[in-house]
Amino acid sequence: MNRANDLSRIRPHQKKLSEAQIAAYRETGFLTVHHVLDGGLLERLVAATQRLYDEGRVLTEKTRHYDLESAHTAQAPRIRRISSPTELDDVFVDAAFNSLLGDIAADLIGGPVKFYHSKINFKLPQGGAEIGWHQDWPVFPHTNTNLVALSVPLNPSRAVNGCLQSIPGSHRQGPRSHWDQGVYKLNCNASMTPDDFSRVVDNELDPGDIVAHHGLVVHGSSQNRSDDLRTTYIIQYAAADALAYSAPVIDSRHRNLMVRGEPATHARVEAGVIELPPDFSAGYSGIYSLQTADKK
């Protein structure tokens, strides 16, 4: 049995964040925490990611786990995402379920928390794709918006290599449309105002740091203009009482497993009318292809 499926291993929640940090997250919709990962876990994550990256070199087409750019070759790999790495190496389970990241997620969710999905995003050197402005919750709407994603950089994440960028307070302005005239864009670029742009914050991080963002905070990232790959492990958590309305964009056998606290006995329903994403039950092509399709 996989470790994460054994409910007896659910760790008791140990509070890691101060009230001031939690209040800052509530206010801005994101929170950077420096020096949180111990060197051992970080080294294991980096080594496992390198192994998975190298294993992906020989692929000639995308798979359930690997999203490739069309120019991908073994000699010049162009892997842009590995979905559900928790199914490929237990270190990703350890980080998501058994490390202090689970405690931080529970601090920010404010109660029992479950795992929803995870991915490793690679931003390729010199031109790795920009990720358009979006909110996560409208891409996978749940009965309430209490979702938090933790981004764990595996190498330095800077403005020059396309670090995550967030708009403070945007999570308090409600969901935005990720469709435009019947076409699913997976971005809300059309909703962006000069005020939004004036408030953008670069979430620059070093390995060992993390940034947490709320399911409604508007975020994105620019092209990588550096010579180095930007690599980030992202874990999506949800409140136990938030139930998904739509098919998962990234599925795994770990989806909806508890991380801290007890499973919910009731769903908490927050919103009235909810814009739905396309039906992803027949497959999700990925954020990059969906976002590029709209540029054609």
Ligand X SMILES: O=C(O)CCC(=O)C(=O)O
**What residues line the site for ligand X (CB under 6 A)?**
121, 131, 136, 164, 219, 221, 232, 234, 287
- With CB atoms as reference, the residue minimizing the distance to ligand X is 221
Q: At what angle do helices 100-109 and 19-28 cross, to 10 degrees?
A: 60
Which of 11/196 has CB closer to ligand X? 196
Residue 95 token pair:
């980080």
DSSP annotation of 289 reads: H
Which of 223/256 has CB closer to ligand X? 223
Residue 253 token pair:
């056998």
Closest distance to ligand X from the beta carbon of 279 (Å): 19
Closest distance to ligand X from the beta carbon of 217 (Å): 10
- Rounded CA-CA distance 51/150 in Å is 22
**Would you say the C-alpha torsion 267, 251, 138, 284 has a positive or negative sign?**
negative
Which of 186/257 has CB closer to ligand X? 186
Closest distance to ligand X from the beta carbon of 15 (Å): 27
DSSP annotation of 155 reads: S
φ, ψ dihedrals at 59, nearest 5°? -70, 145
Closest distance to ligand X from the beta carbon of 106 (Å): 21
Which of 10/37 has CB closer to ligand X? 37
Which of 258/287 has CB closer to ligand X? 287
According to DSSP, the β-strands at 164-166 and 219-221 are: antiparallel
Closest distance to ligand X from the beta carbon of 19 (Å): 27
User: Alpha helices, DSSP H only, in the chain?
Assistant: 19-28, 39-56, 90-93, 100-109, 194-198, 287-293
